[in-house]
Structure 1
Amino acid sequence: MSAAIASVPAPAKDLEKKPIKFSNLLLGAGLNMFEVTTLGQPLEVVKTTMAAHRGDGFVSALGRIWGRGGALGFYQGLIPWAWIEASTKGAVLLFVASEAEYYARSFGAGDFGGGIIGGMTGGVAQAYATMGFCTCMKTVEITKHKAVASGAAAQGTWATFMDIYRREGIRGINKGVNAVAIRQMTNWGSRFGLSRMAEQGIRNATGKRDGEKLGAAEKIAASAIGGGLSAWNQPIEVIRVEMQSKKDDPNRPKKMTVGNTFKYIYETNGFKGLYRGVTPRIGLSIWQTVCMVAMGDMAKTYVEKLTGDKVTAKH
């Protein structure tokens, strides 16, 4: 018993468990809501359309979306699914990542390793808590076929949700959630690591010492580089979209898994098909970075005035 206790490393003396503040959650939700309501959802729609219709190029995808609903076609799935996802995923990520990082560091992980473990754990929690069914319903909204029979009304958002629930239950609503979890885990792990590498490169190029703060433009550049390079896992995103898509194709596997969906996409569209939609995804990553970094300081000031609570969230 005593040997087992002795084998557990003692937490570092300067390790402090950070409290989860309401001001942090409000800031994360607010920035995410702004991002998705402006350019975020249009880029998401383009990315999803290209991933679902892998014969489309960027321009033809824009034409398909416009033909489906004009300017509003670029905002399909925004209300309520993208809003639900945006307002909750930041809180889930912050809470779980903070806890996971604390325990990882208490068992001897350094700042870098603890941050990656926290980010990956938080990303997986996001997927299973809220992002799974939100991404599924957004994809359904974007890829479902409208009713074309004379006099038939197009099925509404909640009617679509209930129809899937009645036919397939919770599994149907969460279709593709495992792919979402893999995407989020690899997203946050690679974004963190690649962004830190980019920051170090910028410091070396500008003669800044380690630990010296970067300017706003330098922060945006580093995060944009990290976010853009993290699109290496785009095949997981294409697999996720295909699993959640409502398009008609009798050649698709009846029971879709990550493995057989990968095989189906590769056999029908080749290697290029696995990277469809990567361009708008890089654009989406850059826009998210601009929102979280460039607008973060202004948002911090506003939230602190609103709540009277000092914001400590990183952005």
Structure 2
Amino acid sequence: MSGAVSSTIASLPPVAEPPSKLEKKPVKFSNLLLGAGLNMFEVTTLGQPLEVVKTTMAANRGDGFSAALSRVWQRGGILGFYQGLIPWAWIEASTKGAVLLFVASEAEWYARSFGASEFGGGIIGGVTGGVAQAYATMGFCTCMKTVEITKHKVAASGQAVPGTWATFMGIYRQEGIRGINKGVNAVAIRQMTNWGSRFGLSRLAEQGIRKITNKEHGEKLSALEKITASALGGGLSAWNQPIEVIRVEMQSKTVDPNRPAKMTVGNTAKYIYETNGLKGLYRGVAPRIGLGVWQTVCMVAMGDMAKTYVEKLTGEKVTAKH
């Protein structure tokens, strides 16, 4: 009898294990500290000089790379390359990581709970986090950085150049919050396409590296292989440079009677195309690629060292993938 029961049980199909429960990961202080620290390091080293050159080329679309370097140097020597760093780039760097982490984590969890794959959930999280970054802090920070970089045109006309806070208050008094956030819609489109394409292109590059190195079964990639995959993703995501040029033009202090009085993403794109052609929409793409690669090196190569330090400082295990 017992033998019959045993053989019957043995012949039954195995009971399927219940699917692993989707858990909502908490956003830790250690993760936020790591993101802010890495972003601050990136922008204070090569990040802001590349940002200044990129913005200068986008605002002066007749300039090549060497002409832009010369223009920035004439404006203030080595300090000209750090124009807009304090306080705007620092405010942006120290807050955008926290905003991205909070919003991307929530959006990814909801997307996964509605049936999205890990890959799809990651893209949805990145896109949503990028849009939130733009409207929460990056809109007014990028606007003020662009104003700082382009206001030398006021000096060229013989007028006195106001200081950082005087410029900020002047815009606020004349145009209110809308003036401070000028170009924020273009920033949102840029961040949305940035994070979506960076995530996707980095994954494609990683798959290619795994095929070449015969690591297609989940083997750990080396630090150099990780940097290469992420750098390719970061560099190739500069395909959306026209959005960046449109953003700079919308925020620039350029005085031109031919510019639209009320600038939108659409009429600004038309104005740039009519005055500088297709090439004008891609001005500044070289330093933008350099910026994407440098950000990747900071986040990937220095991320592990920074994780160890932050864990010692806070006593928490860092779980964020920076």
Fold in common (TM above 0.5): yes
- State the partner residue of 2:62: 55
Residue 249 of structure 1 and its aligned partner are, at CA, apart by 1.2
Distance in 2 (alpha carbons) for counterparts of 1:135 and 1:312 = 29
Q: What corresponds to 1:292 in structure 2?
A: 299
> Is the contact made by 1:220 and 1:293 (CA closer than 8 Å) also made in structure 2?
yes
Match of 2:284 in 1: 277
Q: Does 1:192 align with 2:199?
A: yes
Aligned-pair identity (%): 86
Q: 2:270 aligns with which of 263, 266, 272?
A: 263
Q: Counterparts of 1:296 and 1:132 in 2: how far apart (Å)?
A: 26
Instruction: Tell me the secondary structure at the aligned position of residue 33 of structure 2.
Output: helix
For 1:212, the equivalent position in structure 2 comes to 219
Aligned to 1:137: 144
What is the DSSP-based 3-state SS (H/G/I as helix, E as strand, rest coil) of the residue aligned with 2:256? Answer: coil
| Structure 2 residue 97 is the aligned partner of structure 1 residue 66 | no
> Which residue in the other structure is 1:28 paired with?
35
Look up the equivalent residue of 2:276 and give its one-letter code: N
- Contact 1:49 1:143 (8 Å CA) reproduced: yes
> How many residue pairs end up in the alignment?
304
Counterparts in 2 of 1:12 and 1:91: CA distance versus 1, 3 Å? farther
Contact 1:146–1:155 (8 Å) recurs in 2: no
Q: 1:309 to 1:177 in 2, by over 3 A?
A: same
Counterparts of 2:64 and 2:181 in 1: how far apart (Å)? Answer: 28
Residue 74 of structure 2 corresponds to residue 90 of structure 1 = no
Pairwise CA distance, 1:209: 2.5
Q: Look up the equivalent residue of 1:88 and give its one-letter code.
A: T
Alpha-carbon distance between aligned partners in 2 of 1:153 and 1:27, rounded to the nearest angstrom: 41
Q: Could you tell me how far apart the structure 2 residues matched to 1:227 and 1:208 are?
A: 22
- Structure 2 residue aligned with 1:169, among 148, 164, 176? 176
1:178 aligns to 2:189 (yes or no): no
- CA deviation digits over 1:111-157, x for unaligned, max 9? 0000000000000000000000000000000001354688x753100
Q: What do residues 236-257 of structure 1 show as CA deviations (whole Å, max 9, x unaligned)?
A: 0000000000011111000000
CA contact (8 A) 1:12 1:106 kept: no
TM-score by length of 1: 0.94
Contact 1:191 1:230 in 2 (8 A): yes
Deviations 1:199-235 (A, max 9, x none): 0000000000332221110011001111111111000
Evaluate the alpha carbon distance shift between residue 149 and residue 209 of structure 1 in structure 2; reply closer, same or farther with a 3 A threshold: closer
Cα pair distance change 1:41/1:95, threshold 3 Å: same
Runs of 4 or more above 6 Å deviation: none
Q: Normalising by structure 2, what TM-score? A: 0.92
Give 1:166 deviation, angstroms.
Answer: 0.3
Could you tell me which residue of structure 2 aligns to residue 222 of structure 1?
Answer: 229
* Alignment match, 2:4: none
- Structure 1: stretches of 5+ with no match in the other structure: 1-10
1:76 equivalent in alignment to 2:83: yes
Distance 1:279 1:287 in 2: 13
Q: Which amino acid aligns with 1:299?
A: A
Once residues 217 and 245 of structure 2 are traced to their aligned partners in structure 1, the CA distance between those partners, rounded to angstroms, is 38
